Amino acid sequence: MRYRLWRFSVFCAGPVLPVFWLYQAWSFALGPDPGKVLVDRMGLAALAVLLLTLAMTPFHRLSGWGGWLAIRRQLGLWCFTYAVLHISAYAVFVLGMDAAQFLIDLRKRPYVFVGALAFVGLLALAVTSNRWSIRRLGRRWKLLHRLVYGVLALVLMHMLWVVRADIEEWLIYAAVASFLMMLRIPVVMVHLSCMIRGLRDKSQNLSQ
Ligand code: HEM
């Protein structure tokens, strides 16, 4: 199978950060509230990998390299895994495994409700990301997977609610998300492809 080593490398890289953070928590290197740090880091990692997943199609269109598409599904599943770890850390360290408190948070804290909605969307994407679902759902599969844009919007809203006044980091994520969404507009992609091809031709001419 093509890109086997590349896919395997991404698979090996996936658990590195969560394992490292858990090790840091275990060795008291995450400050006085390691639970909160884990919740925040896992949440940010889930969002970062969601953006990376969405970057794969434009990377492929711009570079023509099939390796980007070969890891797209895997990255989506890593995003889901990070989100599961984020919610698990919240359940263990913030809620103390109290399900009733979760229901109260869901009602009283809008950011928890929005995060839960995003997670339901991610779950739907993850369970239908296999070949069987693609075959079974046919054209509806593509339609369903457009849900990823809604999930992205919800996660950004969730984060904005959490960070509130301290908006700088959020702005970086939102800017990357907006740029990736812009790349989905066909006319933008065509212009950018032409620009990159022009630059490549120029550098080839110079090196000859
Ligand atoms: C049931 C679902 C969810 C719950 C209960 C939840 C809960 C939380 C909590 C408690 C925080 C930290 C609040 C604080 O620091 O005061 C947080 C932050 C965050 N969550 Fe979630 N979350 C959920 C879903 C998600 C999903 C699906 C994603 C991403 C795919 C996500 C990404 C984030 C991000 C990026 C932050 C901000 C972290 C930071 O700025 O440091 N969350 N969430």
- Ligand 1, pocket-test mutation among 47, 158, 160, 173, most atoms within 8 A of CB: 158
Distance 49 CA to ligand 1 centre (A): 14
Q: Per residue, what are the HEC states of the chain? A: CCCHHHHHHHHHHCCHHHHHHHHHHHCCCCCCCHHHHHHHHHHHHHHHHHHHHHHHHHHHHHHCCCHHHHCHHHHHHHHHHHHHHHHHHHHHHHCCCCHHHHHHHHHHCHHHHHHHHHHHHHHHHHHCCCHHHHHHHCHHHHHHHCHHHHHHHHHHHHHHHHHCCCCHHHHHHHHHHHHHHHCCCHHHHHHHHHHHHHHHHHHHHHHC
Q: What percentage of the chain carries pLDDT values higher than 70?
A: 100
CA nearest neighbour of 158 among 205, 200, 111, 199: 111
**Cβ(114) to ligand 1 under 6 A?**
no
Encode pLDDT of 140-161 as tens digits.
999 999 999 999 999 999 999 9
pLDDT for residue 1 is more than 80? no
Encode pLDDT of 161-178 as tens digits.
999 888 999 999 999 999
Relative to the CA of 50, which ligand 1 atom is closest?
Answer: 30
Q: According to the model, what pLDDT value does residue 152 have?
A: 98
CA distance 175 to 64: 25
Q: According to the model, what pLDDT value does residue 146 have?
A: 97
Q: According to the model, what pLDDT value does residue 207 have?
A: 80
Q: According to the model, what pLDDT value does residue 2 have?
A: 86
CA distance 160 to 166: 9
**Cβ(119) to ligand 1 under 6 A?**
yes
pLDDT for residue 87 is more than 90? yes
**Cβ(14) to ligand 1 under 6 A?**
no
Confidence of residue 200 (pLDDT cuts 50, 70, 90): confident
Who's near 177: CB < 8 A, 6+ residues apart?
51, 54, 152, 156
CA distance 31 to 123: 32
Q: According to the model, what pLDDT value does residue 165 have?
A: 85
Q: According to the model, what pLDDT value does residue 203 have?
A: 87
Buried b (16+ CB within 10 A) or exposed e, 150-163: ebbebbbbbbbbbb
Q: According to the model, what pLDDT value does residue 169 have?
A: 96
CA distance 197 to 63: 9
Instruction: Give the global pTM.
Output: 0.95
**Cβ(134) to ligand 1 under 6 A?**
no
CA 32 to chain centre: 28
Q: According to the model, what pLDDT value does residue 182 have?
A: 96
